[in-house]
Structures are given as structure tokens and as C-alpha cells.
Amino acid sequence: MTEIPEHLLKKAAEARARLSGDDAAAPADDAAPASTPAPAPAAAVPAVVAEPEPPAVPEPDAPWVAAAKARKTIPVWVMPVLLFLPIWAIYYVGYLERPAATGGLAVEGAEIYATCAGCHGVGGGGGSGRALNDGQVTATFPNGITAGGYDGLAGQIAWVANGSAGTAELEGAATYGDPERVGGAHQIGAVLGNMAGFGASLSIEELVAAVFHERAQFGNLDAAQVEEELALLEEFIVIREESGDDDLVGETVEEISADLDEARAALGISEG
């Protein structure tokens, strides 16, 4: 580094002396009589007060600066909100895309099935409720109308709406599901006791969504059948909601089958 010339060092030393000694003394003389007439503390107080004095002199703000300061600023909470906006946008778009691929009912069905999973298992393996997986649910409630004339989709919707006791009463039968089920028709209440009906606690859409979830996840339907049942169930919901009824309590298999036929006709799906 270069040497600092002697005369500059001397100037700097003088300047330092001026700042700490002479300047500090000047405002002290002004302040002492103004603040308090007592002479004794006057000497001690200015030494402390004088130091921050020079930078404290405020320049009057220019009008545009004053205007800028007076203007309302962006609230602090906006920052985290802005930060999360892109994350939310990605999440939102992702959420919109899923139903477009598999249908809103699939998403809703997975949510509602949480109510059923306690007894039927998350994977449909059963427990205190019947096993539904490996195509068992669609063995009980087949796709389309069977050769024997049983409408499996209508049967399952009615079953979930009315439960064991409601089905026994409404249908006047000891079994439920396809009477020609492989392995024999399922007896009501014979194996694991009764299941309660969900028609009162679930809306039409929620109940239908749960039924769709069970069929699409645990049934042995092929992709085309899943697609077709989804369209059919969505149309069924519209028809039911137009009828003014807001639940499926007390609906028989026959009544639900009639509405499904209307939906099939609207979509040009054959009943077979």
C-alpha cells in the first residue's frame, strides 16, 4: 500500500480534533441554558447529547418525496401470498386436470370411500364389511343388465342407500345383488351382520361417487365399461336432481333402474 504523506496525516488529526473537541462544545453551549438553568449537570449532559446532534438535522422532504412517503404501501402479508401464488396455480391446474381425465366423480368417490374403508378396507379387502376387491363387488352387482334381467348398477346404488335392513324390507327378499351370482346370491345379514343405509347421510352425488369408486377400483370392469358407467352415473345424477329429490332413501332397485334406463337412452347406451 502507498504511504500516506505527512501533511495529510496532520490534516486528518486536526480534523478529528475539531470534530470531537470544538464542535461538541458548540452545541453544548446552546443546549445548556435552554434545557435547564442548573449549571452543574449542564457540563455532563451536553457531552452525551452533542454527539448524535449533526445527523439529526432533517432536510425538508421534496413534495414528491413527501407524497411517496404518505402513499399507502403494500401490506406485509402480500409478500407470502405472492410467493405462494405460483405454487397454488400449479396445484390448482393439477387438480383441474385429474377430473378431466377420469371424471370428477372419481375424485369425489375416493374421498367418500374413506367413510366405507373402515369396514371394507382401503383396498377393498374387507374386514367388518364384505370384501369388494378382485371383482367381488361386480360379481354381486354386474355391469349392464344380466341375462336374468338384473340391473347391477341400480342394485348397488339401492343397496348403499338402504343398507341391509332397508333392502330386506323394500325388496321383500332374503338376498341382495344378482340372484344368479357366481357362488350364490349374497344373504342379507347372514355373514357379517347388517350394513346401515347411507341414503340419508350422503347426497345423491356423494353416494353415486362412492359406488363408482368401488366399481372402478375393485370391480373387474374393463376401461370401456368404467368409462361408460361414469357417463351413465353422471347423467343419472342430473336426472335424479331434476326430479327434485335430494336423497336416495327408500328407492328400490326397480325405481333406480328406471332412471338409469332414462340415462342410457339419453346417452344412446344399449341396456344389454
Residues that bind ligand HEC (CB under 6 A): 115-116, 118-120, 128-130, 132, 136-137, 140, 156, 159-160, 164, 177, 186, 188-189, 191-195, 198, 210, 214
- Which residue reads 336423497 in cell numbers? 247
Nearest approach in angstroms of CB 194 to ligand HEC is 5
Identity of the residue, 188 or 237, whose beta carbon is nearer to ligand HEC in the bound complex = 188
Nearest approach in angstroms of CB 76 to ligand HEC is 46
Nearest approach in angstroms of CB 133 to ligand HEC is 10
Q: How many CB atoms lie within 10 A of CB 11?
A: 11
Identity of the residue, 145 or 202, whose beta carbon is nearer to ligand HEC in the bound complex = 202
Strands 175-176 and 186-187: antiparallel
Biggest alpha carbon–alpha carbon distance for the chain: 117
Identity of the residue, 103 or 142, whose beta carbon is nearer to ligand HEC in the bound complex = 142
Identity of the residue, 46 or 197, whose beta carbon is nearer to ligand HEC in the bound complex = 197
Identify the burial level of 21 via C-beta atoms within 10 angstroms of its C-beta, where 0-12 means exposed, 13-18 middle and 19 or more buried.
exposed
User: What are phi and psi for residue 220, nearest 5 degrees?
Assistant: -110, 40
Residue 153 DSSP SS3: helix
Nearest approach in angstroms of CB 91 to ligand HEC is 28
DSSP string, 163-185: HHHHHHHHHT-SEES-TT-TT-P
Nearest approach in angstroms of CB 270 to ligand HEC is 25
DSSP code at position 121? -
Identity of the residue, 31 or 194, whose beta carbon is nearer to ligand HEC in the bound complex = 194
